[in-house]
Amino acid sequence: MTATVDGQRTINRLLQPGEKTTIEVRKELVLTAGDASAVALTLNGAEARPLGNTGEVVTVRLNPTNFKSYVQNR
């Protein structure tokens, strides 16, 4: 997983199963996941939809304008 927050690389490593990390974002998060289905995101306390399919490499850009499109509708 690679995460760049507001222009600064904050994560660039393999995360272990069950590992959790919290990232505070002000402007933009650019997240690349090597297995999109293996990542579970919570955005401002709401569960996010899956980023992609099993084994799919995905890069997403989240910012205050678009992050709500990633939140699951209940």
Number of domains in the chain: 1
Domain limits for position 19: 2-70
How is 23-58 classified by DSSP, letter by letter?
A: ---SS-EEEEESSGGG---EETTEEBPP-S-TT--E
Tens digits of residue pLDDT in 47-72:
999 999 999 999 999 999 999 999 97
Mean local confidence (pLDDT), 35-54: 92
Looking at residue 22, its pLDDT comes to: 93
Tens digits of residue pLDDT in 12-26:
999 998 999 999 999
